[in-house]
Structure 1
Amino acid sequence: MKPLSDTYVEETRFGFWFLRSHTWQHHVLRVAINDLRNLFSDPLPAAPVILDAGCGQGKSFQYLQNTFAPKRLIGLDADPLSLTLSREEARRQDINIELIGSDCAELELPDASVDMLFCHQTFHHLVQQDRALAEFYRVLKPGGYLLFAESTEAYIDTWVIRWLFRHPMHVQKSAAQYLEMIRDQGFLFDAQNVSYPYLWWSRSKDFGLLERLGLRRVKPVGEREETLVNVVARKPLNPAGASSLAMGPTP
């Protein structure tokens, strides 16, 4: 089936299989959503409208449902086959889902219509990242939250990932560059709203084998090149006056 975006970078067969695997669900998705939940500075919105931007095969739906109890859950993806599998996944989990076939750079949603936007391991697949982030900002309500979880260039540009998966390499960014991009769009966040997970599967070269064997020191944040970055960023309550609502120094 033809993708619903002219800039869509089709995944490899291995990649498509991996996105339905137990490893993906348990060690990647579940861990990321739990971490993002812990990055909130304020109480969670009650019965939010949640958009899963780049929902893939819908494996995130059960975790979003259980963690945030949305009154409305929307999944969006540019791959028709993934949307079909998302629909089947939602049916298996008995979750009410609205699915939209669209590119993240052109969200078919009204302005200020979403309380929380979940973007997990999607952004590094997008060619039009600036437009997508502007769309995320547009559809979020004032005070709404962007839940952003990404692999960085330091991970995507390793031989094993380049061999097994397919990505637009010219748009990959470091953790600092992703945070700067989000900040420049107008989102607000503090250091306490950011984490740099150092998970075994994200460690370049040897998946952390030498560290587990005690043959290499585990470098702390600040000494290593980050392979993952998670951030909960908020759209200002008064977007026009965002500069006056800074939440303090950002990482």
Structure 2
Amino acid sequence: MNAPMQPVQHNPAGNTYVEETRFGFWFLQSHVWQHHVLRVAINDLKNLLGEPLPDGAVLLDAGCGQGKSFRLLQNAFGPAQLLGLDADPHSLAMSRAEAEREGLQVQLHSSDCAAIELPDASVDVVFCHQTFHHLVEQQAALAEFWRVLKPGGWLLFAESTKYYIDTWVIRWLFRHPMHVQRTAQEYLQMLRDQGFEFGPQNVSYPYLWWSRSSDFGLLERWKLVKPKAVGQRNETLVNAAVRKPS
């Protein structure tokens, strides 16, 4: 049972990125991840965005992993150009293969989110799904998202909070820098402090069964306890569509 705690490989490309465990790397290839986590988040973010992308839009998937988001992002947002960025060489190789299987033209970049090798104001949308809690230099990464976004561009941000990352099952199966984990409100405040604009209509707090801190929602499913409402619980997920002012 010790295998899940071993990192996949040493990764010199991203010194500020905490590598995933072998179990985590396998899970990111799974049907559950693609259809019950990634697809659900993208659909939610599309609703929070609430408007179509401009013609000729460039979309950057920051932390694209194995490329399972590419087809989902293309179908949801229809960008004219799709970019993928990841610090892990093995993940990028799998992203390249995934893009080829899907028949998509994806421009891939090997770099850390805290040092993105793209010009200023070069993308219309940054998609960052379940990447931030792996990053040690979160402020630097957010500043890079701001830098590469065009004025009026969007950051689609979806994260698990410390109330989920710090549960026993996640600490056992996955690997994260625990000292940088944040609450939902701390993530939102960080976005505001960077200068991003958003309102309540641009934020959601998904309360999915797999994110429940102790019982995966079984007690609620069995109607032994009542589900808690927003404001009465420690949020485990936060999704936000936030905009860089024009």
Aligned residues: 237
CA–CA distance in 2 between the matches of 1:61 and 1:124?
Answer: 21
Q: Partners in 2 of 1:33 and 1:218 — Cα distance?
A: 24
Q: 1:153 aligns with which of 156, 162, 165?
A: 162
The range that moved more, 33-42 or 77-86, is 33-42
For residues 119 and 173 of structure 1, what CA distance do their matches in structure 2 show?
16
Q: Which residue of 1 aligns with 2:207?
A: 198
Which residue number in structure 2 is paired with residue 94 of structure 1?
Answer: 103
Partner amino acid for 1:176?
A: Q
How far off is 1:45 after superposition?
Answer: 2.6
Cα RMSD of the aligned pairs, angstroms, is 0.9
Q: Say if 2:66 is the partner of 1:67.
A: no
Q: Look up the match of 2:123.
A: 114
Partner residue of 2:61 out of 38, 45, 52: 52
Q: What per-residue deviation string (whole Å, max 9, x for no partner) do you get for residues 191-245 of structure 1?
A: 10000001111111011000000001100101011000000000000xxxxxxxx
Matched residue SS, 1:39:
helix
- Within-5 A mapping of 1:82-231: 82-231=91-240
CA contact (8 A) 1:47 1:68 kept: no
Unaligned runs of 5+ residues in structure 2 are: 1-8
1:151–1:228 CA contact under 8 A, matched in 2: yes
Structure 1: gaps of 5 or more residues: 238-251
TM-score normalised according to structure 1 size? 0.93
Name the aligned partner's letter for residue 126 of structure 1.
L
| Contact 1:51–1:74 under 8 Å retained in 2 | yes
Q: Normalized against structure 2, the TM-score is what?
A: 0.95
Provide the C-alpha distance between the structure 2 equivalents of 1:66 and 1:22, rounded to a whole number of angstroms.
18
Q: Residues 62 and 41 from structure 1, CA distance in 2 versus in 1: closer, same or farther, beyond 3 angstroms?
A: closer
SS at structure 1 position matched to 2:39: helix
Equivalent residue for 2:4? none
